[in-house]
């Protein structure tokens, strides 16, 4: 579904890995959905019908680039997915191609509670996003260790204003750019700690730490880069990482990362993360991060220290728990801030395998959320409308209730409810307001998500969201209309 682990050790070293190259499409790869063989003809008709209905609904697929991508997807859907990894071997050298396509059609009614043109200068109703990622990965066996490398390129096309109006001067985007260019070394059987216990990498790569609460997304999307929802710019501009498995119950990650944003902020950070497993159920972690350089003067010299814990029961039904706390010192502003969340869940077992959870999350005013990203629906983009486009994880408190069930091997349904509040009514991201925000109650959001995975290479997800403003949102925007949001995303991963 997604790379919860922070490292690349499962990405390139085993060349049978189906690589995730963006953060958003990774969401729909749900672990509770099993693979199922589906006739290619059925996939073709289903894919064509879905895209036809979406095109009619949104009336957005009129640009030549989008039509070309649709043709590519239709052609791919007529081919049976390979059962073995697409890998060629020549002596001690192995290599495989990288190819994936993501296509999203999105519509919104009453954007920004009916006030987007007045507040952002443009009006969003519908838009499309498409991303093609292609390249190759190589693996060289050095007897007791190995060297690997990966290079890939993004082809991006998007059209229309997104819901955040991040692209007022770039309504249509068509661009080709480097995604990953990374080389690494893995220890193989060189050390007694275990196979590939040490993994080193340097270059432009994807890299996540812990639960993606702090360090996950290396680049920025939207604006002149397009494809804000798909979010293909996940790799860091430059990096040097070391991932060490001390034993089967302990690991350490040491990293240097530089941010790939636009305009380029020359942001550099370094840190260390550790994970400790106790028994079969408990996982504890800690991380420190130092943003030691940045052209963003408010972000410069930001230091984070964080601890986290996770519990998952062996039995089903059974309960689970996840929590994390962050202490942050913002040196440039001489501020100390906090962020934390706690989540409890219950797996019911039985038919549909329903899982019910509740989470409370809090982020101080003037807290810097750094570079979080997605791990599942609702984490850590909170709300498919508000969290994706309007709010960031600062000066915010949220209640989330979530129900996930799997009616069949191919389908997963998720229902989410949010209640959002401001920790400081007229502070942080709510300062630029239509009128002074005096009520911390901001909005309620309801999400309904259906994921369909007919094969291990094809995914289709439908997302519907309704967002109702409370007094705080009305004061901030001047609008009082309920937002209706719809998304359909198709993903193919070779």
What's residue 316's pLDDT? 76
- pLDDT per residue over 452-483, tens digit each? 999 999 999 999 999 999 999 999 999 999 99
Picking from 443, 454, 451, 425, the residue whose alpha carbon sits closest to that of residue 481 is 443
DSSP 389: I
Q: How do residues 201-227 score in pLDDT, each as one tens digit?
A: 999 999 999 999 999 999 999 999 999
Q: What is the Cα–Cα distance from 34 to 377, expressed in whole angstroms?
A: 18
- Categorise residue 344: left if φ over 0, alpha if ψ from -120 to 50, beta otherwise: beta
Judge whether residue 52 has pLDDT over 50.
Answer: no
Structure tokens of 51?
Answer: 């895209």
Q: Is the pLDDT of residue 72 over 60?
A: no
458 phi, psi to nearest 5 deg: -120, 135
The size of the chain, in residues, is 494
Only one residue has tokens 């706690």, namely 342
**Separation CA 20–CA 29 (nearest Å):** 10
Taking the C-alpha atoms of residue 85 and residue 290, their distance in angstroms, rounded to an integer, is 39
The class (CATH top level) of 23-493 is: mainly beta
- Identify whether the C-beta of residue 69 lies closer than 8 Å to the C-beta of residue 132: yes
User: What is the Cα–Cα distance from 81 to 43, expressed in whole angstroms?
Assistant: 11
At residue 349, the pLDDT reads 86
Residue 414: strand, helix, or coil: strand
Angle at 129 between CA 126 and CA 133, to 5 degrees: 175
Please state the rounded mean pLDDT for residues 174-180: 97
Pairing status of strand 198-204 against strand 238-247: antiparallel
User: Own/partner pairs for 195-198, CB < 8 Å, 24+ apart?
Assistant: 196/9, 196/13, 196/245, 197/244, 197/245, 197/246, 198/242, 198/243, 198/244, 198/245
Q: What is the pLDDT of residue 100?
A: 97
DSSP 71: H
Any alpha helices (H) in 260-368, and if so which ranges? Answer: none
Distance CA 97, CA 88 (A): 9
Residue 260 CA to residue 183 CA, distance in Å, equals 18
pLDDT higher than 90, residue 22: no
Neighbours of 327 (CB within 10 A): 15
CB 219 within 8 A of CB 261: yes
| pLDDT over 50 at 127, yes or no | yes
pTM (2 d.p.) = 0.83
Share of the chain above pLDDT 70, in %: 82
Average model confidence (pLDDT) across the chain: 85
Q: Give the burial class of 422: count Cβ atoms within 10 A of its Cβ; 0-12 exposed, 13-18 middle, 19 or more buried.
A: buried
- Cβ atoms within 10 Å of 480's Cβ, excluding its own: 15
Residue with tokens 């920025």: 220
d(CA 345, CA 143): 46
Is pLDDT of 342 > 60?
yes
**Do 48 and 74 contact (CB within 8 A), yes or no?**
yes
Nearest of 104, 185, 181 to residue 150 by alpha carbon: 181
Helix (H, G, I), strand (E, B) or coil at 172: strand
Q: Are 205 and 8 in contact (CB under 8 A)?
A: yes
DSSP structural state of residue 353: -
**For the CA atoms of the chain, what is the radius of gyration?**
22
| pLDDT given at position 299 | 95
Q: Which residues contact 112 (CB under 8 A, 6 or more apart)?
A: 119, 120, 163, 390, 477, 479, 483
Q: What pLDDT, on a 0 to 100 scale, did the predictor assign at position 370?
A: 97
Looking at residue 198, its pLDDT comes to 98
Check pLDDT > 70 for residue 388. yes
226, burial (CB in 10 Å: exposed 0-12, middle 13-18, buried 19+): buried
Q: Is 42 helix (H, G, I), strand (E, B) or coil?
A: helix
Output the six-digit token pair for 363.
Answer: 């982020």
CA distance from start to end of the chain: 15
Per the CB < 8 A criterion, the answer to whether 367 and 328 are in contact is yes
Helix, strand, or coil (residue 229): coil
């Amino acid at each position: 579904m997604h790379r919860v682990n922070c490292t690349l050790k499962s990405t390139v070293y085993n060349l049978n890995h189906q690589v995730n190259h963006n953060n958003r499409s990774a969401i729909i790869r749900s672990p509770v959905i099993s693979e199922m063989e589906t006739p290619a003809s059925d996939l073709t008709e289903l894919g064509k019908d879905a895209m036809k209905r979406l095109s009619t609904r949104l009336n957005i697929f009129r640009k030549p680039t989008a039509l070309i991508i649709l043709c590519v997807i239709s052609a791919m859907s007529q081919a049976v997915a390979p059962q073995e990894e697409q890998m060629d071997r020549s002596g001690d050298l192995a290599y495989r191609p990288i190819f994936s396509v993501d296509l999203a059609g999105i519509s919104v009614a009453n954007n920004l509670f009916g006030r987007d043109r007045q507040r952002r200068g443009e009006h969003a109703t519908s838009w499309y996003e498409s991303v093609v990622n292609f390249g190759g990965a190589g693996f060289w066996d050095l007897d007791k260790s190995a060297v690997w490398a990966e290079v890939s390129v993004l082809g991006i096309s998007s059209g229309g204003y997104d819901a955040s109006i991040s692209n007022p001067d770039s309504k249509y985007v068509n661009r080709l750019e480097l995604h990953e260019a990374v080389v690494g070394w893995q220890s193989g059987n060189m050390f007694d700690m275990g196979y590939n216990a040490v993994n080193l990498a340097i270059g432009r790569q994807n890299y996540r730490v812990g639960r993606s609460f702090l360090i996950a997304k290396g680049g920025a999307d939207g604006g002149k880069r397009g494809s804000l929802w798909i979010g293909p710019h996940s790799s860091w501009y430059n990096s040097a990482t070391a991932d060490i498995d001390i034993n089967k119950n302990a690991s350490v990650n040491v990293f240097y990362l530089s941010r790939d944003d636009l305009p380029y902020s020359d942001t550099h950070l370094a840190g260390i993360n550790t994970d400790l497993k106790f028994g079969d159920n408990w996982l504890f972690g800690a991380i420190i991060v130092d943003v030691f350089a940045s052209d963003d003067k408010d972000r410069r010299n930001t230091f984070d220290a964080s601890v986290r814990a996770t519990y998952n029961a062996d039995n089903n039904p059974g309960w689970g728990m996840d929590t994390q706390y962050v202490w942050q010192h913002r040196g440039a502003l001489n501020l100390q801030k906090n962020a934390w969340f706690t989540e409890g869940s219950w797996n019911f077992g039985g038919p549909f395998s329903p899982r019910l959870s509740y989470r409370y999350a809090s982020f101080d005013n003037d807290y810097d959320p750094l570079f979080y990203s997605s791990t599942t629906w609702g984490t850590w983009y909170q709300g498919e409308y508000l969290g994706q486009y309007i709010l960031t994880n600062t000066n915010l408190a949220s209640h989330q209730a979530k129900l996930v069930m799997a009616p069949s091997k191919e389908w997963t349904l998720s229902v989410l409810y949010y209640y959002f509040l401001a920790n400081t009514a007229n502070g942080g991201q709510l300062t630029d307001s239509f009128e002074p925000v005096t009520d911390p109650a901001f909005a309620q959001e309801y999400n309904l998500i259906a994921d369909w995975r007919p094969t291990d290479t094809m995914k289709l997800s439908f997302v519907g969201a309704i967002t109702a403003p409370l007094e705080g949102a009305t004061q901030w925007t001047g609008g009082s209309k309920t937002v209706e949001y719809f998304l359909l995303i198709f993903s193919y991963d070779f």
